[in-house]
Amino acid sequence: MGADPRFFPARGPFRLAALAEAVGARLVGEGDREVSGVAPLALAGPDDLAYLEGRRHLAALRAARCGAVLVSEDFAAAAPEGCAVLVTPTPQLAFARAAALFHPRPAPVPGIHPTASVAADATLGEGCEVGPFAVIGARAEIGPGCIIGPHAVVGAGCVLGAGSILRAHAVMEHCLAGAGVVLHQGARVGNEGFGFVTTAAGEHVTVPQVGRVILGDGVEIGANSCVDRGAGGDTVLGPGTRLDNLVQIGHNVRTGRGCVIVAQVGIAGSTELGDFVVVAAQAGLVGHIKVGSKARIGAQAGVMNDVPPATDVVGSPAWPARETMRAFARLRQLATPKKDDKTGGTP
């Protein structure tokens, strides 16, 4: 079963020879054969192209009904009879590229919906699509080929680079964004951060939050995620950084290039991430720490100190992964009653 055409009309069909060339794979089989869509291995039918993600799905490949499969050299022989084979060292990446041929990101349908509210002094590049009830504020500058979805808001003075997308209900304010940026449904960018000083009497006095949000090229912000603007100075997400849904980014956080921040992570104010840092789901990072490039933070970790580059940490409070795993194994062992000791516990 390929994609539902009511939501995802597919281009194609494509000849396997053309697909192989487009994604840099070596075709084993007839080049003239065609496929008309892409699908996961378990769901793919004779007209679909699938891929093998790794050894643990080998059984699924042997049972597959797909017309063609992207697979690495080692597993090519496992494809069932009648299934064409496209050999590539990176099957998942090749699949992403093939899928994009069938389902390219929908291009903007140029025009401003009659219900949209666009400031007279805002500027829009060529070929932008502005949806119903979208709001574009004074002096905003929107590059060519952007899509501003229904109810999306581009605040006064904001800059949005070419080919960017605001999905339904996304909001950007006090923000300068590069090209190819995507804000998913309900993303909140440039909101006032949680900045106040408490008097001796317990009154919270707001510190004016007069910084911005700077989004590098290709940054993506997940649904209902929040990126607060700087208190003074900027909150910065480096080029290619991707946030999943329901993520919280505090004021003056900075990330390098290509960081991956999974769902429900929270990063407190002024913390800095290097390049290609991965923060797994529901982890939390306190403010004012530094996480080195290529560090990996485990799911639900609670990070309270700097993390050196290329280091894995897990747990709350977070320790190096190996040490934490040993501690949990030890704890489990201590808590297991010994056979000859009904009171349980100590070895």
Length of the chain counted residue by residue = 347
Tell me which of 32, 81, 120, 208 binds a copy of itself, using CB under 8 A.
208
Q: Which of 248, 273, 274, 297 binds a copy of itself (CB under 8 A)?
A: 248
Stretch that binds a copy of itself, among 20-28, 63-71, 74-82, 131-139 (CB under 8 A): 131-139
Chosen residue from 69, 183, 236, 244 binding a copy of itself by CB under 8 A: 244
Query: Is the peptide bond between 317 and the residue preceding it cis, with omega within 30 degrees of 0?
Result: yes
Q: How many CB atoms lie under 10 A from the CB of residue 39?
A: 21
What is the residue type of 274? G
Determine, following the binding rule CB under 8 A, whether residue 65 of this chain makes contact with a copy of itself.
no
Q: Which stretch binds a copy of itself (CB under 8 A): 20-28, 78-86, 96-104, 121-129?
A: 96-104
Cis ω before 13 (30° cut-off from 0): yes
Longest Cα–Cα distance in the chain: 83
Q: How far apart are CA 315 and CA 97, in angstroms?
A: 36
**How many residues in the shown chain lie near a copy of itself by CB under 8 A?**
116
CA contacts within 13 A on the Cβ side of 295 = 27
CB-based contacts of 293, cutoff 8 Å, min separation 6: 256, 274, 275, 276, 277, 309, 310
Contact status: 317 vs a copy of itself (CB under 8 A): yes
Q: Is 103 in the site for a copy of itself (CB under 8 A)?
A: yes
Nearest residue (CB) to a copy of itself, 117 versus 305: 117
Site for a copy of itself in 140-199 (CB under 8 A): 150-151, 153, 155-157, 167-169, 171, 173-174, 184-186, 188, 191-192, 194, 196-199
Q: How far is the CB of 255 from a copy of itself (least distance, A)?
A: 13
**Residue 305 touches a copy of itself, criterion: CB under 8 A:** no
